Structure 1
Amino acid sequence: MIRQLRQALCLLFLVRFLAGDFSVYNAIMKGTLVHCLSLHKDDFQLWNDAIVGVSEKGTISFVGNGCDVKTLSEVYGFSVDQVTNLGRKFLIPGLIDTHLHAPQYAFTGTGTDLPLLEWLNRYTFPIESKYADLQIAEHAYTKAVKRVLSLGTTTGCYYATIHLPATKLLVQIINQLGQRAYVGKVNMDRNSPETYVESTENSLKDTEEFIQYCLASGEEGKRLVTPIITPRFVPSCTTELMTGLGRLAAQYNVPIQSHISENCDEVKWVKDLHPECESYTDVYEKHNLLNEKSVMAHGVYLKDEELQKFADAGAGISHCPTSNFQLASGVFNVRNALDKGVKVGLGTDVAGGYSSSMWESIRQAMNASNTFRFGREFNSVGYREAFALATVGGAEVLGLGERVGNFWPGKEFDALIVDPFVEGGPFDVFEWENEEQIFEKMVMMGDDRNIESVFVGGKLVAGTSKV
């Protein structure tokens, strides 16, 4: 009977593999586990010879020591025949990108010669206006999502464009490819080109239709894509539009994303547009767009009083250092925000950022923090904390802290298998190096060549099924 059961399990595995539906449901992964329990620097864990049990629902049943595999298997109803030994490969949580522009992927790595506001008019708006064409949208969005998945991003928080059909198409593509995501139809009813602007009425109507479209795709907690209210930024949205979007966010209980205090000229512009408000943050607060479900990108020039408002509201900041450096916007003091109790995650912000890789965002977050050490004593962010920002930090910012971000039992198995020894990889490993030194090399030099497999909810969505 036991032999027949084992044969059945092997057959099921083979059928799924041949059908392209490989997963690690009802399996035990054994290897070097690396994750962070929180953003606190002492909550980084590198666990040699660890085991993770993944349930038939794609959730984490248990985490333990390899020597306890028999006992834990019996307690949780697994078979020791279901253990996949990863050797010295790393098992890490999926990376979480809290801010990226899907339509801008098409020109990532170009147009690096202008500051933010000129850059938007010269490059961004003309490209985004092309997404009225669904053929262009399908081609570009498919490439964008495949790329970020291959780089280990299991959750992405996307801006689309003002076009409702193309934004729905992005949702379909993300669902097909199996990524976890937040997607927003961008809102713009003022200070925008004639070829890329919408009326207030249509913007609100299309946003509500998009929310309903996403919510109808599955039950809460089970669907991959969550709709997110997306006023581009204050200069592109009238008071009437922002008020309406705040109302929709409350009515449907959905999250909000936008930009804030990215560039000095932008901050001054907002002050000129809204002299009745004390600050940029105050504009969002007065329009009911700042709460525990808000994700605001950049925040480079937020004053301490504004950061306190973020902390009090439970709102999060998406730190996008690669973009801040590339567009010469400024440097966000992530340590100051964290010390004030503000939730912070990392974002690539393509195409303001030159790379779709969260690994690059991790490195640039360290560089950004290090700039505050010049000529002064400062506790800058190291690789452990930067890695935490890209995992548990992003999960908290997006309200997913109870579902993803690390390997805590009960969470979903969003994970990467990382091979630091891959042939032709971007770095070399020497015999005297321990696992933490090797992982640090991965953080500082690794790329998609090291990412063997990418799982979302236990299902393989990118890479290979060598496991």
Structure 2
Amino acid sequence: MASTQVFCGTFIHSTDKDPLIILENTIIGVQRDTIIFIDNEDKIRDRLEEYQLPNNVVKYLTSGQFIIPGFVDTHAHASQYTFCGKGMDKGLLDWLDCYTFPTEARFKDTEFARDVYSKVVDRFLKNGTTTASYYATIHTDTSILLCKIIEKYGQRALVGKVNVDMEAPEYYIEDTTESVAGTEAFVKAVTELENPLITPCVTPRFAVSCSEELLKKVGQIAEQFQLPIQTHLSECRPECNVITSVHPKRLNYTDVYNHAGLLTNRTILAHSIYLCDEEIEVIKLKGCGISHCPNSNLTLRSGLLNTRTLLDKNIKIGLGTDIAGGYSPSMLNAIRQTIQISNTHAILAEKDGEKYKPLSFKEVFRLATLGGSQVLGLGKVIGNFEIGKQFDALIIDPQCTNSAFDIFDTDENKEDFLEKFLFMGDDRNIKSVYVAGRCVYEAGKRVVLSHRDS
């Protein structure tokens, strides 16, 4: 890879102020992993001379192509990929017992884990997910293996060894002390990889399956090393009802985590559907982010998150596939389902004579990119195209061979192209995938990264 690349064409991204900005006839210069300039196309010769670059470093997009930021998946269970699309007739708690715990227990087998983790990381990259927040399992060694596979494939990720010390099958319960020691060993091993793209993430599965002692101790690890924290919160009503019996001293579900020191501006709370006003205020005060997982919430019949209400309260929100509760590893599916759930809230509000503004595709595009980066604590690193940020990006080709959709002369501009891609496109339309300036996927095939594959 050349140390400096220049991309020329149309770029589409979001900012905090504007959910959709289209930069046509634009050049972006990338030195190693970082954006060093953004300028008009007519300044290309000046920029090449300024940085003493040859003409062949410029990658020109065709007239129909455009570049968007890489998708950010804020919640995914890498270990559950084997049963995506299975057990979709069950609710959350039954689904965990029938599919999740038995399958995750198999990840003590290194070769099984290697096969599954290799396929899931490959699949996510193919679908344009440049950054993912992964849950592994309770097994320290194979959780470390997941990180090594992510490194090999060139993805950016947060990864957590899962903690479980109660309210699970006997074959999938850890001793509290061993769970803490495993987390410490995992953090040490991932840190020693010295890969800036991979961050260890403290991962208590959820308050139902973690004792107060365990929650407090992993919270201390997160505080000591200033690590992100990921867990589940208020995913379904039966789960919320169980919390009152397993943690009777706490005021509510959110208070369990708050009491354990797990609510920080580095915390990622998946689902968060059934929150009372007091819980929402605590989450806002602590600066936590919420991962909205619309496919899973619908498929397991968990509920309908009111994303608009949380956004209006200035709470950070990103999108998650939540495989395998969600049956699709594509963030395009998460975008579409988010819009449908928001539309459902609008329909229900109208029925009750209330006003409700559903999310636009532009707003949801922002959630899948910049919003997700902010939830993962990476908002200053990735999420859009700004000088100083790293270049995580997708080249989209609406007119590729065997495209998932068609373009007509009635499609007047790149906004039309983007909207069609978000609603009807798939991995066939993703021509190239870049992570930290490095092309890791090209024309549907993984690019071999020799220094990582050795």
Instruction: Return the TM-score normalized by structure 2.
Output: 0.94
Distance in 1 between residues matched to 2:276 and 2:49, nearest whole Å:
55
Partner of 1:389: 367
Partner of 2:45: 70
Shift, 1:74, TM fit:
3.2
Partner of 1:344: 317
Cα gap change, 1:234 to 1:162, in 2 (>3 Å): same
Q: Read off the aligned partner of 1:36 and give its amino acid letter.
A: S
Partner of 1:455: 434
Distance in 2 between residues matched to 1:82 and 1:170, nearest whole Å:
34
Shift, 1:76, TM fit:
4.2
Shift, 1:465, TM fit:
9.8
| Alignment of structure 1 residues 309-324 onto 2, 5 Å | 309-324=282-297
Are the aligned partners of 2:273 and 2:306 in contact in 1 as well (CA < 8 Å)?
yes
The answer to whether residue 404 in structure 2 is matched with residue 431 in structure 1 is no
Q: Read off the aligned partner of 1:96 and give its amino acid letter.
A: V
Number of positions where the alignment pairs a residue of Structure 1 with one of Structure 2: 439
Q: Read off the aligned partner of 1:28 and give its amino acid letter.
A: V
Distance in 1 between residues matched to 2:401 and 2:158, nearest whole Å:
35
Shift, 1:132, TM fit:
0.8
The answer to whether residue 279 in structure 2 is matched with residue 306 in structure 1 is yes
Shift, 1:75, TM fit:
3.6
Give the 3-state SS of the residue equivalent to 2:314 in structure 1: coil
Give the 3-state SS of the residue equivalent to 1:431 in structure 2: coil
Cα gap change, 1:440 to 1:27, in 2 (>3 Å): same
| Alignment of structure 1 residues 328-407 onto 2, 5 Å | 328-374=301-347, 375=350, 376-407=354-385
Distance in 1 between residues matched to 2:49 and 2:435, nearest whole Å:
26
Give the 3-state SS of the residue equivalent to 1:306 in structure 2: helix
Q: Read off the aligned partner of 1:274 and give its amino acid letter.
A: H
Distance in 1 between residues matched to 2:2 and 2:147, nearest whole Å:
25
Deviation readout 1:135-159 (Å, 9 max, x if unpaired): 1000010000000000000001000
The answer to whether residue 246 in structure 2 is matched with residue 273 in structure 1 is yes
Q: Read off the aligned partner of 1:303 and give its amino acid letter.
A: C
Shift, 1:80, TM fit:
3.9
Partner residue of 2:192 out of 216, 223, 227: 216
Distance in 1 between residues matched to 2:175 and 2:188, nearest whole Å:
20
Distance in 2 between residues matched to 1:101 and 1:360, nearest whole Å:
16
The answer to whether residue 11 in structure 2 is matched with residue 36 in structure 1 is no
Q: Once superposed, what is the RMSD of the aligned Cα atoms?
A: 1.5
Shift, 1:43, TM fit:
4.0
Q: Which shifted more, 147-156 or 273-282?
A: 273-282
Give the 3-state SS of the residue equivalent to 2:172 in structure 1: coil
Question: Could you list the runs of 5+ residues in structure 1 that have no partner in the other structure?
Answer: 1-22
Distance in 1 between residues matched to 2:277 and 2:341, nearest whole Å:
18
Partner of 1:61: 36
Shift, 1:341, TM fit:
1.3
Q: Read off the aligned partner of 1:112 and give its amino acid letter.
A: M
Deviation readout 1:63-107 (Å, 9 max, x if unpaired): 122122122333444344422111221111110000000010111
Q: Read off the aligned partner of 1:370 and give its amino acid letter.
A: N
Are the aligned partners of 1:179 and 1:224 in contact in 2 as well (CA < 8 Å)?
yes
The answer to whether residue 148 in structure 2 is matched with residue 172 in structure 1 is yes
Deviation readout 1:248-272 (Å, 9 max, x if unpaired): 1111111100000000000111122
Deviation readout 1:164-192 (Å, 9 max, x if unpaired): 11101101100000000010000000011
Distance in 1 between residues matched to 2:238 and 2:51, nearest whole Å:
58
Partner of 1:7: none
Shift, 1:464, TM fit:
3.6
Cα gap change, 1:464 to 1:284, in 2 (>3 Å): same
Shift, 1:424, TM fit:
1.1
Partner of 1:151: 127
The answer to whether residue 225 in structure 2 is matched with residue 252 in structure 1 is yes
Partner of 1:416: 394
Are the aligned partners of 2:2 and 2:57 in contact in 1 as well (CA < 8 Å)?
no
Partner of 1:327: 300
Distance in 2 between residues matched to 1:346 and 1:235, nearest whole Å:
23
Distance in 2 between residues matched to 1:358 and 1:161, nearest whole Å:
23
Deviation readout 1:388-409 (Å, 9 max, x if unpaired): 0011001100110111001101
Are the aligned partners of 1:187 and 1:230 in contact in 2 as well (CA < 8 Å)?
yes
Cα gap change, 1:30 to 1:174, in 2 (>3 Å): same
Q: Read off the aligned partner of 2:43 and give its amino acid letter.
A: D
Partner residue of 2:211 out of 238, 248, 258: 238
Give the 3-state SS of the residue equivalent to 1:201 in structure 2: helix
Q: Read off the aligned partner of 1:282 and give its amino acid letter.
A: D
Q: Which shifted more, 266-275 or 128-137?
A: 266-275
Distance in 2 between residues matched to 1:439 and 1:127, nearest whole Å:
38
Distance in 2 between residues matched to 1:64 and 1:394, nearest whole Å:
26
Distance in 2 between residues matched to 1:62 and 1:26, nearest whole Å:
11
Partner of 2:425: 446
Deviation readout 1:333-355 (Å, 9 max, x if unpaired): 11111111111000000000010
Give the 3-state SS of the residue equivalent to 2:61 in structure 1: strand
Partner of 2:450: none
Distance in 2 between residues matched to 1:37 and 1:65, nearest whole Å:
19
Are the aligned partners of 1:416 and 1:453 in contact in 2 as well (CA < 8 Å)?
yes
Are the aligned partners of 1:322 and 1:353 in contact in 2 as well (CA < 8 Å)?
yes
Are the aligned partners of 2:6 and 2:29 in contact in 1 as well (CA < 8 Å)?
yes
The answer to whether residue 80 in structure 2 is matched with residue 104 in structure 1 is yes
Are the aligned partners of 2:430 and 2:443 in contact in 1 as well (CA < 8 Å)?
no
Partner of 2:94: 118
Distance in 1 between residues matched to 2:430 and 2:20, nearest whole Å:
21
Q: Read off the aligned partner of 1:372 and give its amino acid letter.
A: H
Partner of 1:293: 266
Distance in 2 between residues matched to 1:408 and 1:319, nearest whole Å:
25
